[in-house]
Amino acid sequence: MNNTPRLIENSVKNYLYYSLQKCHENRVKIYSVALNIIVFIGFVVVFGTTLYFCWKRKPNKIDLERKRVKEQELVLEKIRYFQQVKQHQKETMNSLTNLPMTSNLAESLREFGI
């Protein structure tokens, strides 16, 4: 066999090996727990800020009322405009033929070449 001198006995060598193995396992557990906590805090911060900004951007009752009134005014303005256009068309059209009224019959005949 091998009769070379050894500085430590096999039992001490095994004890140190298993002791270092346990230290390594504890260090890996601590690192994984710390990493999990950091990732969890990161998710909470991102999710919380997202919810906060969504809540902050949500219009309140006053803004909703202003928007509703503005939309109503816009619709009423368009209705008034089309009523005015319709009234103007009624005024300029002949009621019997629905053709535009001409002020000078001679000019209109010249336009058609008659």
Question: Looking at residue 110, what is its pLDDT?
Answer: 63
Question: Looking at residue 17, what is its pLDDT?
Answer: 95
Question: Looking at residue 56, what is its pLDDT?
Answer: 86
Pairwise CA distance, residues 44 & 32, whole Å: 18
Distances (CA, A) of 93 to 47, 51, 71, 99: 65, 60, 33, 5
Question: Looking at residue 57, what is its pLDDT?
Answer: 85
Q: Where does the chain show beta strands of DSSP type E?
A: none
Print pLDDT tens along the chain (114 aa). 567 777 888 899 999 999 999 999 999 999 999 999 999 999 999 999 999 998 888 888 898 899 999 999 999 999 999 998 888 777 776 556 666 665 565 565 666 655
